[in-house]
Structure 1
Amino acid sequence: MKNFTFNINENSYGVKIVSHEDNVIELEVNGTVYSVKMKETVKTVKTPTLVRKPASSTIEPIKINPAASKTKIVAPIPGVVLSINVKVGDTIKVGDELLVLEAMKMENSITSEKSGLVTAINVNVGQQVLQSEVMIELE
């Protein structure tokens, strides 16, 4: 089955496992066969099976409070700003693309969920943003 070499007190021992049944193992040490009885049954090692739990909740899009006078557009995920499609002073309506954010090698269009006037742009093209970082402010 398996061969091992042990060095004990500068003596070399060649050990071969001949058979293994329950808690009895037959060994051959330097040509001499020994039967060894273990105190406990040797457990066979099983390969673990990885099981993923289903996602507990789905990711909800960021909802904007329609009653608020100022609206902050925040980054939904960390990424890099690829393009900004509005400028300060622009009037936008619901569904207009504000900017494109690259995250995990995918381009994500950030659109407006509220009509309004762009009052501030807090990011630049090529800038890295963290999740929940304010990118654009609307009024």
Structure 2
Amino acid sequence: MKEYKYKINGNLYKVTVGDIEDNNVRVEVNGTSYTVELEKQAKPKIKPVVRTESTTPAAPPTPISRPAVSGGKSGIKSPLPGVILEIKVKEGDTVKRGQTLMILEAMKMENDIKSDRDGKVTAINVSKGESILEGTDLIIIE
């Protein structure tokens, strides 16, 4: 069983995730039990990989990042649910693409959350120790 604390619109929720059977999950929110049906994800179509012999060493893998948005404000979203361990920037800081902004603990691993563009931090929407969901806007960069 996993326990999480979420703050949504200023309200604190204590969520306990219990047994998972097929697509159903037993959860308890602030003491009230629910059965939650998970969305079934479509299985990705697998394309065959054609290998060719090469005498040059393979290039290191390129990290996946969101495309930069030209102009305006851009939110850095959480790729996974987890807990914020450390925030390495503050509002008003100028950041460069690829700079580590914060560290997120997810599935017992520390994940660097990096900037996807150059810009200025205009808002930090989370705090150290906060439990967050996947897709949460963490930092706004202008």
Q: TM-score range by the shorter chain?
A: 0.5 to 0.7
Aligned length: 84
Alignment counterpart, residue 44 of structure 2, candidates 23, 34, 56: 56
1:83 to 86, 94, 98: 86
C-alpha distance in 1 between matches for 2:127 and 2:84: 7
Question: Which of 130, 133, 136 matches 2:133?
Answer: 130
Q: Which stretches of structure 1, 4 residues or longer, exceed 6 Å deviation after superposition?
A: none
Q: Unmatched 5+ residue regions in structure 2?
A: 1-42, 47-62
Kindly state the Cα deviation for residue 57 of structure 1 after the two structures are TM-superposed: 6.7
Residue 61 of structure 1, CA deviation: 3.8
> TM-score, normalized by length of structure 1?
0.56
Structure 1: which amino acid aligns with 2:106?
A
- Residue 95 of structure 1 and its aligned partner are, at CA, apart by 1.0
Question: Where does 1:1-139 land on structure 2 (aligned, <5 Å)?
Answer: 56=44, 61-139=64-142
Question: Residues 92 and 57 of structure 1: is their aligned pair in 2 closer, same or farther, counting only changes over 3 Å?
Answer: farther
Deviation, 1:135, is: 0.6
TM, length-normalised to structure 2: 0.55
What amino acid does structure 1 have at the position aligned with 2:123?
A
Segments of 5+ residues of structure 1 without an aligned counterpart are 1-54
Q: Quote the RMSD (CA, aligned, Å).
A: 2.1
Distance 2:131 2:100 in 1: 19
Distance in 1, matches of 2:71 and 2:44, equals 31
**Structure having the higher Rg:** 1
Aligned partner of 1:23 in structure 2 is: none
Quick one: distance in 2 between partners of 1:56 and 1:62? 20
